[in-house]
Amino acid sequence: MTEDRNIVVTGLGVELPGISAISGFLDLLSSSTVASEARPEARLGNKGLRYKDRATKLALAAAQATLEHAGLPSSPHEQLQPDAFGVVASSNLGNLDTVCRVVEAIRSSGVDAISPMDLPNASSNVISASIGIWFGLKGLNLMICNGATSGTDALYIAANSIRAGRAEHMIVVGVETVNPAVARLIEESAQPWLPESSGIRLGDCAGAVILESAGSAAARNAYIYGRVGAYAYAPQGDVRASLQRASLCDESAPDLWLTPNCSYGSTFAQAESARTLWKTASPTTLDIAKALGETYGATGVLQTIAACLWLDANRGRKAIATSGAAWGDGAASLVIRGGRPS
């Protein structure tokens, strides 16, 4: 296992409608909305998907896209170092529809009414486990479901897993989907902190990145899209505090700041207050929610993809992605540095 503590991003992938290549992601984010529906079966084929829920299908499609983008095998029989290739997935509501359906069937008809495939799919770790099985990734396998910062947290955990020698490569996947169960829970959960919650636009998408050590990337001559920097979490949705803590080693303003979802009044106010942190500097800002809607547990991963693409296209030095500050959660910030040599 590697002892290299410099963690880099070598693969990017999304499952979104209207995108045939990852290069179109930034163009999509500059539009007002994603109108059509993602169809992961077009990438994966139908074999083996019969009992998979939509969130798992979206996650598998994004994972396949990022493996291919990184130049790594997507077949389990060809996988490089499968025992040292791990998975961290982030989704708060991915299989909620399955859970609700199973519970209702047991309540109304008894346990004999449940398919043998239903109970495994009702487990909270079904997405991460499915990715590991589908692609032959036998290393560390984790599912993160801890609220609006979980995508950012998943990246931090994956990077630390490589630094600690638990894996050589990690794939990090963030996914959320839309269905009546999710829509109802979101509306009801938002009431205590967002009285005007009616009409929240939910995202239906997945994003994935490949992380590995700089030494591993150099050994296989992989292209580096970004470098994972400092992470910080602040309770009570304190965006400014999370930014300050993530910037302790480098207080310079980023070239790009990916803000949390600013369509909510409280989050917008937090973001506006945090802008004064950089005084006279004025970094470019990007709120992915404008195009994608509320992506909740997938936000941090999608932000990182956007940051890597933007830094690469603009020869940027540094980006900071901030998620959370909504749904009663804290705020998390992650520094992403440009992959090009400075």
Q: Delimit the domains of the chain by residue range.
A: 7-219, 229-338
Q: Which of 69-78, 98-107, 247-256, 300-309 has the highest mean pLDDT?
A: 300-309
Residue 89 has pLDDT above 80, yes or no: yes
Same-fold call for 7-219 versus 229-338:
yes
Residue 2 has pLDDT above 50, yes or no: no
Residue 71 has pLDDT above 60, yes or no: yes
Residue 170 has pLDDT above 70, yes or no: yes
Q: Which of 76-85, 106-115, 275-284 has the highest mean pLDDT?
A: 76-85
The topology (CATH level 3) of 229-338 is Peroxisomal Thiolase; Chain A, domain 1 (3.40.47)
Residue 133 has pLDDT above 80, yes or no: yes
**Residue 155 and residue 227: Cα distance in Å, rounded?**
12
pTM above 0.75, yes or no: yes
Tokens of 237: 């949705």
DSSP 201: P
Cβ neighbours of residue 240 closer than 8 Å, sequence gap 6 or more: 234, 270, 273, 274, 277
Over residues 93-104, the mean pLDDT reads: 88
Give the pLDDT of residue 223.
96
CB 40 within 8 A of CB 30: no
Residue 138 buriedness (CB in 10 A; 0-12 / 13-18 / 19+): middle
- Comparing 17-26, 250-259, 290-299, the range with the smallest average pLDDT is 17-26
Q: Which parts of 102-188 are beta strand (E)?
A: 141-144, 169-176
**Residue 238 and residue 232: Cα distance in Å, rounded?**
11
Amino acid 224 reads I
Give the pLDDT of residue 3.
44
Give the pLDDT of residue 32.
67
Over residues 49-63, the mean pLDDT reads: 92
The topology (CATH level 3) of 7-219 is Peroxisomal Thiolase; Chain A, domain 1 (3.40.47)
